Structure 1
Amino acid sequence: DYLIDAPVSAGDGFSFSGGKYSDGPNPSDEWFKQGKFVKAYPVGGTGEKAKDPIFGLTMGAGSQASGDVFRWFSVESGNADNPTVILIHGFPSQAYSYRKVLPVLSKNYHAIAFDWLGFGFSDKPQPRYGFDYTLSEYVSALESFVNEVATNKVSLVVQGYFSPVVAKYASKNQEKLNDLILLNPPLTAKHANLPSTLSIFSNFLLGEIFSQDPLRASDKALTSCGPYAMKEDDAMVYRRPYLTSGSSGFALNAISRAMKKELKAYVEATKVILMDKNWKVRTTVCWGQRDRWLNYDEVEDFCKNSNHKLIELPMAGHHVQEDSGEELGGIISGLISRRIVT
């Protein structure tokens, strides 16, 4: 449980459901202890203190950019001398979604799962105060992060609506990659629009209100896209950012608007990239068959036409790593063990 009226607030005073979890141990704190902050991608803007877009009040420290370089929350597992696999969550989610994948990969690989800017424990700058959450910014930010955590070639695993961002990055950095593994990525024209559960966050005024609601922003968004019956302990971790800071909701609102505006073009670009005859990165599509957001129609044809491997997971939904973590870990390990180049 969490305490809405806790005597000591862990929030920034803006979140509509502010407060903190009970004083006892909780899964969110335990997860945080496993990770560290990586500094990557310079903060833009003038350095002015962020203000909330509704009342114009200066926001708390949790809603401000961290100095000159952004902080990314990252959890690493396995020997750093082994080949590196970077696990990239989708929209909306967190690195926590890979908690069942990390132990499997750590046996033979150096696995890294991180929170995107705007999610989890990573920095969540107010839009227009150093980061605007456009997809092109995310491409550049990812490049900075990868360069910071890995000097040799890496394999990338990315889920859902952030797949086009990673594909764009990969197209510019093929020499840096061994494998690209896409988990339920948007690949067809039918995938080019956000589902209503996510697009609602981009609506004027209503989106700003709903994005501050922890149950809508985390629980409903995660459980409406697949066969999920999430445990309360896990739901608490996803809910935590929206309980403790209004910055999480403002970031969600900004990302939703950017996705609504740019997703179609990025999906088209992804198709072109992955079907290009000059594409050299070994690519696999893993598809959770019980995805309620993205239709499986045309996915099989796309993989055949582009000569990319397709692996179906019958019991998984949109967030494959959340629903079938151990199974996915084994699949990833098998795929990238075929050939490793450093």
Structure 2
Amino acid sequence: MTVSTPTPTQTHQWQWQGHTIRYQSAGTDGPALVLIHGFGASSDHWRKNLPELGIDHRIYAIDLLGFGLSAKPTPTPDLPYSFETWAQLVLDFSEQVIGEPVVLIGNSIGCIVALQAAAIAPTRVRGVVMLNCSLRMLHERKRAALPWAQRTFSPWFQKILAVRPIGHFFFQRLARPSVIRNILQKAYARTDAVTDELIEYLLRPAQDPGAADVFLAFIQYSHGPLAEDLLPQLDCPVLCLWGAEDPWEPIGLGQAYGKFSAVTDFIALEGVGHCPQDEAPEQVNPLIRQWVARQVTRSI
């Protein structure tokens, strides 16, 4: 019996609109997959997936502008921290670095980035895999469905954080190992996956100049697209994987995405929380490989 050996991971830099973007890669053959992290994370959040998926794919994990080891410029009207900006970044990366249509795989807000990219340029995206897609419950169109206290408090909290000294003080209080660990242990159902290594991967970029402004810019971002806006626009197939114990993005609400025609499969991952790729890579990696082989490779 042939045993597949995980592939080594390499780190690179790429220039986009004058800004340095860090990405990681693995594998030399097969369909191209691009991994897109969630809010506050980086390509390191895919460290358990890159070597395995690289066995039979060319796999890339990118640090979105403003996160990880990528540049963190001050947001401007011409370059806001928005899903449109990040989607264009991913599309340009796919064209300039990879040079062919890709499968986009996202976690949390990374799913919205992937959907937005597929909606903008359908011929350049072969498929989308969503892992616990952000429901964006604080979006201006969804606040009415929130409990009274939450929908009343949230806009005021955003206004308070918009005062830069207050916002920066709040961010500094968040960017501490004990706080990050506590947040992750609430988001992860498998708390043993919350390791010192993971804490360091998330904490290090938060020390960079500009990190607080990126965080505060996104906290103010209560508009833009929702997954339910973008899914009807897609021509490519979509796989939904959902950690059933996610306290942030409840699976009961996420299951509505399974009703869209583009979604070929909706798979619940029992005993898993918000970040399945990190909590349960032994489940996620085979599911992605099987789905890409079935839904995407056949059409290439």
What TM-score bracket applies, with the shorter chain setting the length? 0.7 to 0.9
1:307 to 1:39, Cα distance in 2 relative to 1, 3 A: closer
Is 1:38 paired with 2:14? yes
The Cα shift of 1:314 comes to 1.0
CA contact 1:135–1:165 (8 Å) conserved in 2? yes
* Structure with the larger RCO, 1 or 2 (CA within 8 Å, 6+ apart): 1
Is 1:246 paired with 2:209? yes
Identify the residue that residue 129 of structure 2 maps to in structure 1: 181
Q: Which amino acid aligns with 1:293?
A: W
1:161 to 1:188, Cα distance in 2 relative to 1, 3 A: closer
CA contact 1:219–1:239 (8 Å) conserved in 2? no
Identify the residue that residue 5 of structure 1 maps to in structure 2: none
The Cα shift of 1:159 comes to 0.9
Residues 54-112 of structure 1, C-alpha deviations (whole Å, 9 max, x = no match): xxxxxxxxxxxxxxx22111010001x42100000011211111101111101100110
The Cα shift of 1:36 comes to 1.1
1:97 to 1:88, Cα distance in 2 relative to 1, 3 A: same
Separation (CA, whole Å) in 2 of partners of 1:291 and 1:319: 8
1:225 to 1:148, Cα distance in 2 relative to 1, 3 A: same
Identify the residue that residue 187 of structure 2 maps to in structure 1: 225
Residues 189-239 of structure 1, C-alpha deviations (whole Å, 9 max, x = no match): 68856999x996872343321223422884444333232341112211211
Identify the residue that residue 336 of structure 1 maps to in structure 2: 292
Q: What TM-score comes out, normalization by structure 1 length?
A: 0.71
Gaps of 5+ in 2: 1-8
Higher helix share: 2
SS in 2 for 1:297: helix
2:55 alignment partner, one of 95, 100, 107: 107
Q: Which amino acid aligns with 2:250?
A: N
SS in 2 for 1:331: helix
Identify the residue that residue 204 of structure 1 maps to in structure 2: 162
- Where do 1:314-325 residues align within 5 Å? 314-325=270-281
1:305 to 1:250, Cα distance in 2 relative to 1, 3 A: closer
SS in 2 for 1:266: coil
CA contact 1:92–1:222 (8 Å) conserved in 2? no
Separation (CA, whole Å) in 2 of partners of 1:89 and 1:37: 17
Identify the residue that residue 313 of structure 1 maps to in structure 2: 269
CA contact 1:72–1:117 (8 Å) conserved in 2? yes
The Cα shift of 1:188 comes to 8.0
The Cα shift of 1:130 comes to 7.1
1:234 alignment partner, one of 195, 198, 202: 198
Separation (CA, whole Å) in 2 of partners of 1:335 and 1:155: 11
- Where do 1:30-109 residues align within 5 Å? 34-40=10-16, 42=17, 69-79=18-28, 81-109=29-57
SS in 2 for 1:91: coil
1:307 to 1:141, Cα distance in 2 relative to 1, 3 A: closer
Identify the residue that residue 7 of structure 1 maps to in structure 2: none
1:131 alignment partner, one of 46, 67, 79: 79
The Cα shift of 1:329 comes to 1.3
Separation (CA, whole Å) in 1 of partners of 2:244 and 2:55: 28
CA contact 1:88–1:156 (8 Å) conserved in 2? yes
CA contact 1:165–1:266 (8 Å) conserved in 2? no
SS in 1 for 2:64: coil
The Cα shift of 1:150 comes to 1.8
CA contact 2:105–2:114 (8 Å) conserved in 1? no
2:101 alignment partner, one of 153, 160, 163: 153
Q: Which amino acid aligns with 1:297?
A: G
The Cα shift of 1:299 comes to 2.8
SS in 1 for 2:267: strand
Gaps of 5+ in 1: 1-32, 43-68
Is 1:256 paired with 2:219? yes
1:299 alignment partner, one of 214, 232, 254: 254
Separation (CA, whole Å) in 2 of partners of 1:333 and 1:306: 22
Identify the residue that residue 225 of structure 2 maps to in structure 1: 266
Separation (CA, whole Å) in 1 of partners of 2:76 and 2:228: 31
CA contact 1:201–1:207 (8 Å) conserved in 2? no
Residues 26-72 of structure 1, C-alpha deviations (whole Å, 9 max, x = no match): xxxxxxx94111122x1xxxxxxxxxxxxxxxxxxxxxxxxxx2211
Q: Which amino acid aligns with 1:93?
A: A
Count, aligned residues: 272
